[in-house]
Structure 1
Amino acid sequence: MGVVLNMDGKRNMASVEPLIALTQEEMGKVNELILSKAGSDVELIPTLANHLISSGGKRLRPMITIAAAQMFGYSGEGHVRLATSVEFMHTATLLHDDVVDESDLRRGKKTARMIWGNQASVLVGDYLLGQAFRMMVDVGSLDALDVLASAAAVIAEGEVMQLDVAKNLETTEDEYLQVIKAKTAALFSAAAEVGPIIAGVSKNERAALKSYGTNLGLAFQLVDDALDYGGSAKDLGKNVGDDFREGKITLPVILSYRRGSEEERKFWKHAIEEGASDDAALETAKSLMTKYNAIGDTIARARHFGEIARDALAPLKSSPQKAALTEVIDFCISRVT
């Protein structure tokens, strides 16, 4: 994968810095609320929760919630609680994911399950979900509660759908997109939609942010899929090649399998379905992805969804928040360029 260069030869550096700057004050309050609500008299709960909460993620989803509320002139405190709820939902999902996927590393650190075990990880994830819903209720918006509660159910459905397609090389691209729309894009969508809801905007403006979040989430996950075969642990937040070693069906695998010869499809069956996924097999997988441009086409799909997200925002009134949210699209995709 190459580096995208501008005409002056410099790397195209899309950034989340404008979003960070716009949301800095409220995100300070979010961080305080995170520490408060992750607390418990049960010592293991804050210990385990803070292990993941403090592990260096950008907190992109809650920043989107804050910026989306700011866009429409919201001046209360409800967006801080909703943003914290979004982050707790995300953290709970990561704790549960690491158990289901048997992951050893998360953002370069040992996963909670590796330190405290699967049972503790699942139960602390459940605790964070409970705290998230308490904060949603505190905001007092039934519409916002409905959106986030629905997202929680959809995310769980996505996890089960992923189990259904696990190691199934006959999974179609459409089926896979359904999985990631539920598993990843649903929370991005909810994070973007709840800000406009509490700002009391029109149905069309709310729909625009919902569409933005959904398509940004799809682009984000497809970039992650590509990074698993060509990124770094720092960019990805886990070991490069983990998806392959775990036998995960992702878009680069789907495209390579479908485009390959009969002999090459036997390799994929041996590696994914039978678990023969050592380092040598990973290199073979990468070479087949290069041969059939599976990584390039996965990135092209991500760009496509990124453009849909950009078009969703286009009719809205110009503002610093709109510009920052638009740049987030470029940032997400630039992780592989």
Structure 2
Amino acid sequence: MNIFQLINEELQNVQLLIHKNFKIKAGHISDFISLDLNYLDFHLRPGIVILSNRLFGPVTERTIALAAVLQFIFLASRVHLNVIESGTGRESAPDNRFKYQYPILVGDYLYGKFFTTLCDAGIVHYLKKLAKLICTINKGGILNHKYKNREFGDKQQYYSIIRKESAELLACSAYLGADLGGAGTNAKRHLYNFGLNLGMAFGLLEKGASLKQVSQYILSAESILNQFPPGEETDCFRNLLTLLKKDNSVLQRMVI
């Protein structure tokens, strides 16, 4: 199911930029960590940046760079958050490198690439917002590990972690994409809230939530989209929401 068919060319350019930066003197990033990514892992964050930009202006090299930046942040956070906890000491040194050292080093490298890509594209003015985003994601990761395998104190605490780890990244992708396209204040606020609701739905699905549990976020996202004129970009966003409504094994394989 090619949700982002409209922007396939732009997404290919984003992936080319990312994979160019995956090549380092020591080899390729995939030599040191396992990036088990599905369709949405590859395209969701860059796709939201590009579509949000296209709502208000043409896609430029800066758009492609910004989309790559948000993907670098996603990949770095995914690598760091998936590092397993310290072992028992029985593992051999090579095992330790692949379980602990390499993922941390690769995650740091990807965070570095987000900064250099901002500089190269001349969009370093987004640094403060993106730095705050990274702090938010890591706060969510800390809380998630703190309460792992335990009962959450309350529902709000659980949802707060989902927002920090998943939703804020999609919200920032939509907001900055719109800003780069020249959107006004109200439009950027609407796109931020759209991304936030979309991110909450995806984040909950990643935790195994049911369609009933994410329905309120889908409805809120749909309501926000209705404030924008019809067009190909909003149709793509609606296709994403339609995917969320398909509470079946195909959706689970794409999201999780």
TM-score range, shorter chain: 0.7 to 0.9
Distance 1:209 1:101 in 2: 36
1:125 aligns with 2:37: no
Match of 2:243 in 1: 331
Contact residue 39 and residue 45 of structure 1 kept, 8 A? yes
CA contact (8 A) 1:219 1:333 kept: no
What pairs with 1:90-169 in structure 2 (closer than 5 Å)? 90-100=74-84, 116-142=98-124, 144-169=126-151
**Alignment CA distance shift 1:44-1:201 (3 Å):** closer
Query: Scaled by the length of structure 1, what TM-score is found?
Result: 0.65
Whether 2:234 is the aligned partner of 1:322: answer: yes
Give ranges in structure 2 of 5+ residues lacking alignment: 87-94, 250-256
Task: Classify 1:158/1:46 alpha carbon distance in 2 versus 1 (closer, same or farther; 3 Å).
Answer: same
- Report runs of 4+ in structure 1 exceeding 4 Å deviation: none
Name the CA distance, whole Å, in 1 between partners of 2:214 and 2:84: 25
CA–CA distance in structure 2, aligned partners of residues 95 and 170 of structure 1: 24
User: Unaligned regions of 5+ residues in structure 1, if any?
Assistant: 1-14, 103-112, 227-294
The answer on 1:209 being equivalent to 2:121 is no
After TM superposition, the structure 1 stretch with the greater mean CA deviation from structure 2, 216-225 or 131-140, is: 131-140
User: 1:196-251 deviations in whole A, cap 9, x for unaligned?
Assistant: 1111210011111111111101101212222xxxxxxxxxxxxxxxxxxxxxxxxx
> For residues 160-239 of structure 1, what are the structure 2 equivalents within 5 Å?
160-226=142-208
1:40 corresponding residue in structure 2: 24
Q: Distance in 2 between matches of 1:100 and 1:200?
A: 42
Identity between Structure 1 and Structure 2 (%): 23
Match of 2:35 in 1: 52
Aligned length: 239
Distance of 1:163 and 1:299 partners within structure 2: 25
Which residue does the alignment assign to 2:91? Answer: none
Instruction: Evaluate the alpha carbon distance shift between residue 171 and residue 143 of structure 1 in structure 2; reply closer, same or farther with a 3 A threshold.
Output: farther
**RMSD between aligned alpha carbons?**
2.3
Deviation at 1:44, TM superposition (A): 5.7
Structure 2 residue aligned with 1:22: 6
Closer, same or farther: CA 170–34 of 1 in aligned 2, 3 Å:
closer
Letter in 2 for 1:130: G
Letter in 1 for 2:227: P
Q: CA deviation at 1:322?
A: 0.7
Q: Partners of 2:70 and 2:248 in 1: how far apart? A: 26
